[in-house]
Amino acid sequence: MRVLLVGGGGREHALALGLVGDPGVSAVVAAPGNPGIASVAELRAVTPTDPAAVAALAVETAADLVVIGPEAPLVAGVADAVRAKGIAVFGPSGAAAQLEGSKAFAKDVMTAAGVPTARAYVCTDEESTARALDEFGAPYVVKDDGLAAGKGVVVTDDRAAALAHANECGRVVVEEFLDGPEVSLFVVTDGEAALPLLPAQDFKRLGDGDTGPNTGGMGAYAPLAWAPSGLVDEVMRDVVHPTLAEMRRRGTPFAGLLYVGLAITAAGPRVIEFNARFGDPETQVVLALLETPLGGLLHAAATGTLAEHPPLRWRDGSAVTVVLASAGYPAAPRTGDVITGAEGPGIIHAGTARRASDGALLSAGGRVLCGTATGADLAAARDAAYALVDGVELAGSQHRTDIATAAIEDRITIPG
């Protein structure tokens, strides 16, 4: 099986490693890829959000399967264009990707499907926003309705800051604050059958102790020893299958990766958000533990044959990933700094580039790379991931020092 992988971040580097490790995959072409992916796959240039260009590249590279990593191409309808060429694609249609593309649409589907989530209002003017903020009280949660790479959400006790964010965005979802530890659950689905992957936890805030601004994610670990037993079954029953049924009922079945972001509250799991693709950086840890060949799994989801797929197999132990971000991230990431020590196994590239003149590795984005490691237990995996990151030199870089620490120290508590 020949695979075309669309995207060029850390998630795609992790997907590329998973795909090349599948004996059923003969070749991986990545577009546009990145310098890390270049060590395992052929790179081709493409604008990932251009449906016609990606579809043409899929034909040209004789792809049997196209895997679309990021959300923007999905929302732009790239999966539709590839499917129209008769090529199997892992990733939802543009219409189904609205589960991520619009927070208001996602809330509407959740309400129709009876999915447990935060109460919310869609607001377009200051008066209705103020009313919603006052009804729910602090901490205030204000979400940009459109795609914002995980950075469109403000959670704050400062009412004026909440209002200012709403004004900047225009159309927002204001919702009640959900109190409890967060879980990311990835579900592979062909629209009807659905297989959950291992739950993971990521770290959205920039600073240790969950301080500072929201980011795309600063680290992750799996599995979650502290998660309530039966959590995955409950989420599949109460969230995933009702959502998939509602999407089928609307004539826009969701096939691909349904990312369920949850808060484990005193009242049980509540959906914080849906995404229409693998999460970054949780993908790095979940795929590090997946023993089942990745290409075959994604192909089954892409071809409506997931019901016949064997149960997933997982490696023993734990995985941790620690993100190294550039100076100024997330507000104003600085790029163009030289990176050293980033060539070894376990370093997943995200925002890196090669300098044309001498091939030096440079920072080229906010989240630059991450160190991903497995270990017999969470502490061993954490230590190994930090050893990888500590071996990288990048001027002004930032990373959290507490990834997985609360779980290792058994300090994660579910309210109530």
Least Å from the CB of residue 176 to ligand AMP: 6
- Residues of this chain, 194-223, that bind ligand AMP according to CB under 6 A: 204, 214
- Which residue from 321, 293, 286, 314 is spatially nearest to 187, judged by alpha carbons? 286
- Choosing from 18, 51, 69, 150, the residue that interacts with ligand AMP (CB under 6 A) is 150
Residues with Cβ within 8 Å of residue 144, at least 6 apart in sequence: 103, 152, 153, 165, 169, 171, 172
Give the whole-angstrom CA distance, residue 325 versus residue 267: 35
- Choosing from 66, 118, 227, 306, the residue that interacts with ligand AMP (CB under 6 A) is 118
- Choosing from 19, 87, 133, 141, the residue that interacts with ligand AMP (CB under 6 A) is 141
- Choosing from 22, 64, 80, 175, the residue that interacts with ligand AMP (CB under 6 A) is 175
Q: Is 177 in the site for ligand AMP (CB under 6 A)?
A: yes
- Residues of this chain, 66-95, that bind ligand AMP according to CB under 6 A: none
Q: Is 143 in the site for ligand AMP (CB under 6 A)?
A: yes
Cα dihedral: 254, 283, 141, 400 (round 10): -170
Q: Is 147 in the site for ligand AMP (CB under 6 A)?
A: no
Q: Checking DSSP bridges between strand 268-275 and strand 256-265, what pairing results, if any?
A: antiparallel
Stretch of residues binding ligand AMP (CB under 6 A), selected from 31-39, 149-157, 188-196, 377-385: 149-157
| CB of 178 or CB of 408, closer to ligand AMP | 178
Stretch of residues binding ligand AMP (CB under 6 A), selected from 10-18, 171-179, 233-241, 396-404: 171-179
Q: Is 8 in the site for ligand AMP (CB under 6 A)?
A: no
Least Å from the CB of residue 216 to ligand AMP: 10
Q: Is 178 in the site for ligand AMP (CB under 6 A)?
A: yes
**Considering Cα of 128, then 132, then 137, then 141, what sign does the dihedral take?**
negative
Q: Is 64 in the site for ligand AMP (CB under 6 A)?
A: no
How many residues of this chain interact with ligand AMP, rule: CB under 6 A?
15
Least Å from the CB of residue 185 to ligand AMP: 13
Least Å from the CB of residue 256 to ligand AMP: 18
- Choosing from 108, 182, 208, 337, the residue that interacts with ligand AMP (CB under 6 A) is 182
Q: Which 3 state secondary structure label does DSSP give 344? A: coil
Give the whole-angstrom CA distance, residue 284 versus residue 346: 10
* DSSP 8-state code for residue 200: B
Stretch of residues binding ligand AMP (CB under 6 A), selected from 18-26, 174-182, 287-295, 393-401: 174-182
Residues with Cβ within 8 Å of residue 270, at least 6 apart in sequence: 116, 117, 118, 178, 180, 262, 263
Stretch of residues binding ligand AMP (CB under 6 A), selected from 14-22, 94-102, 150-158, 234-242: 150-158
Which helix (H) or strand (E) segment is 15 a member of? helix 10-20
Distance from chain centroid for Cα 307: 24
Which helix (H) or strand (E) segment is 89 a member of? strand 88-90
Q: What residue number has its CB nearest to ligand AMP?
A: 273
SS3 assignment for 275-333: ECCCCCCHHHHHHHHECCCHHHHHHHHHCCCHHHCCCCCECCCEEEEEEEECCCCCCCC
- Residues of this chain, 243-302, that bind ligand AMP according to CB under 6 A: 261, 272-273
- Which residue from 12, 13, 17, 19 is spatially nearest to 299, judged by alpha carbons? 19
Q: Is 153 in the site for ligand AMP (CB under 6 A)?
A: yes
Cα dihedral: 246, 252, 258, 262 (round 10): -40
Stretch of residues binding ligand AMP (CB under 6 A), selected from 32-40, 173-181, 190-198, 347-355: 173-181
Least Å from the CB of residue 64 to ligand AMP: 33
Convert 162-186 to b/e letters by CB count within 10 Å (16 or more is b). Answer: bbebbeebebbbbbbebebbbbbbb
Structure-token match 């197999």, residue found: 313
Residues that bind ligand AMP (CB under 6 A): 118, 141, 143, 150, 153, 155, 175, 177-178, 182, 204, 214, 261, 272-273
